[in-house]
Amino acid sequence: MTDTDRDFVPALGKGGSLERYDAAIALMTREKRWRGELLRLAAPAAGERIVDIGCGTGTLAIALKQLSPATEILGVDPDPAVLAIAREKAEAAGVSIRWFEAMGDALDDIEPLQSCDKIVSSLVFHQCPMEVKEAIASQMVRLLRPGGELILADYGEQRSALMRMLFRQIQWLDGFEYTEPNARGCIPPLLDAAGFADVEEARVVKTPTGSISIYRARRPLA
């Protein structure tokens, strides 16, 4: 069994269709708003190497490359079907991105990913069991160079009755066991426990499927 033979929740849940993924995310999550905030906080710069963990169909990776053509962008996802879409989208956009098929917690042996300047990730953690969330967070710390930055967007703490109710849609789609820790605000303490410093919830964006939080953190210098 190879690493990517391990079970994972597909991009649009167990019953979703990849053909509808990009349209569904745009409609259900106010994607332009939170991705725009994520891009602004990621602030890709010339000469940096940025790894997108759980890159899906490549929307974020492509946007980062378009924003800063001199930044090296690498995308990682365990699903070969979404990577095929990502490659097609990157080719159509005329950008060069390196893609890797791998689980987000099993990247230590992929040399190009090591000692990267920044890691970005979006809508990944809520689809993972708690032990995998923890393993991915620890993997992110190991990949970053000292002082490197993580910018992560995902469903975070659902702080109102309305957001809780709307988030039920995602819980039905991706499973209550995986999503409930996110709704209770697990991500900041999880990043702290993994060894990140300066963990902060930088933005909260209310969407038709619950609130999406954007988190920032750094690997300590020592």
Residue 153's H or E segment, with its range, is: strand 144-155
CA distance 28 to 111: 36
0.85 exceeded by the pTM?
A: yes
Which domains are delineated in the chain?
26-218 (3.40.50.150)
In this predicted structure, the answer to whether residue 27 has a pLDDT above a threshold of 70 is: no
Compute the distance between CA of residue 97 and CA of residue 38 in angstroms, rounded to an integer: 19
Mean pLDDT of the 41-59 span: 97
> Do residues 209 and 28 lie in contact, with contact meaning Cβ atoms separated by under 8 Å?
yes
pLDDT at 4 over 80: no
Q: In the chain, pLDDT over 70 holds for what percent of residues?
A: 89
Query: How many other CB atoms sit within 10 Å of the CB of residue 109?
Result: 9
Residue 31: its pLDDT value, please? 83
pLDDT the model gives residue 30: 75
Query: Residue 10: helix, strand or coil by DSSP?
Result: coil
Position with higher pLDDT, 37 vs 18: 37
* Rounded Cα–Cα distance for residues 28 and 36 (Å): 16
pLDDT digits (tens, 9 = 90+) for 148-168: 999 999 999 999 999 999 999
